[in-house]
């Protein structure tokens, strides 16, 4: 087990918890998808894991050690990388410069070059566009750049918040293909996905959240075939959590 959340209460305003006793576990090498209605706490889970939010109760355990409430930069150095919702590239910097920013804590220049080469191997389009300003990339290409930037530190655990948000189907397919390839290369992935059906198809396991609690959990294919999940969460387009 690479990650465990034990009885987590967390939120954005002191005394007002969005998460109300969340328990979940992530096994090494898995893709795990979190789905649920708008505002149920999906993104809050990711932000609590990566240290952006400090839980009022409970424990976050990564690789057997508690990381609850530790600063995000320290959690990043321990190997937990968060790719937030929306586009967060540096638009006036080139693709290559954006990638170098992702490896800012790497002191050895040779290691930086090797890390960039690893990213290019996974995302060939970034190598083709390496000297272009990131702001001129398409939405799908910017999403790949964000994932590539996160990969510069070769993290064992990546948190993806709405990787297909706002993308047309072709670009969405491309991003999900890269997510699978990234996982096959050894990275454990926890993702929140507004396209619940697509997210569960890509996942080994999933959690269904409702009102800040885990309502259902199980293998992705079982949740897809669950009549309750189909009725409540797969009947249409699920909007991203604000």
Supply the DSSP symbol for 197: H
Q: What is the pLDDT of residue 19?
A: 97
Confidence of residue 39 (pLDDT cuts 50, 70, 90): confident
Q: In terms of C-beta density within 10 A (0-12 exposed, 13-18 middle, 19 or more buried), how is residue 83 classed?
A: buried
CA distance 205 to 193: 13
Residue 240 lies in a domain: no
CATH of the domain at 147: 3.40.50.300
Q: What is the pLDDT of residue 34?
A: 96
Least confident of 48-52, 98-102, 126-130, 169-173: 169-173
Residue 138 lies in a domain: yes
Q: What is the pLDDT of residue 231?
A: 78
Number of domains comprising the chain: 1
Q: What is the pLDDT of residue 238?
A: 39
Residue 225 lies in a domain: yes
Q: What is the pLDDT of residue 233?
A: 72
Residues of the domain holding 107:
3-233
| Positions of E strands within 123-186 | 157-161
Residue 141 lies in a domain: yes
Residue 36: phi and psi, rounded to 5, are: 155, 170
Residue 239 lies in a domain: no
Residue 241 lies in a domain: no
Residue 75 lies in a domain: yes
Query: Which of 49, 47, 63, 59 shows the shortest CA–CA distance to 6?
Result: 59
The answer to whether 87 touches 161, Cβ cutoff 8 Å, is: no
C-alpha separations of 97 from 81, 133, 183 in Å: 19, 9, 25
Q: What is the pLDDT of residue 235?
A: 58
Residue 242 lies in a domain: no
């Amino acid at each position: 087990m690479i990650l465990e959340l034990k009885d987590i209460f967390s939120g954005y305003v002191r005394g007002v918890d969005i998460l109300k006793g969340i328990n979940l576990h992530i096994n090494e090498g898995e893709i795990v998808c979190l789905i649920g209605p708008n505002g149920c706490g999906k993104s809050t889970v990711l932000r609590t894991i990566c240290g952006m939010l400090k839980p009022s109760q409970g424990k976050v355990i990564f690789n057997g050690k508690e990381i609850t409430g530790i600063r995000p930069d320290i959690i990043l150095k321990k190997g937990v990388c968060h790719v937030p919702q929306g586009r967060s590239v540096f638009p006036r910097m080139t693709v290559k410069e954006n990638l170098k920013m992702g490896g800012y804590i790497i002191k050895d220049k040779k290691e930086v070059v090797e890390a960039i080469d690893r990213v290019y191997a996974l995302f060939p389009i970034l190598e083709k566009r390496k000297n272009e300003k990131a702001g001129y990339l398409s939405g799908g290409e910017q999403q790949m750049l964000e994932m590539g930037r996160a990969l510069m530190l070769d993290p064992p655990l990546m948190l993806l918040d709405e990787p297909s948000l706002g993308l047309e189907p072709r670009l969405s397919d491309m991003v999900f293909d890269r997510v699978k390839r990234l996982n096959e290369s050894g990275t454990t992935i926890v993702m929140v996905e507004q396209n619940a059906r697509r997210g569960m198809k890509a996942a080994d396991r999933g959690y269904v959240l409702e009102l800040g609690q885990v309502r259902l959990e199980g293998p992705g294919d079982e949740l897809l075939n669950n009549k309750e999940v189909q009725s409540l969460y797969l009947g249409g387009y699920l909007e991203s959590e604000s």
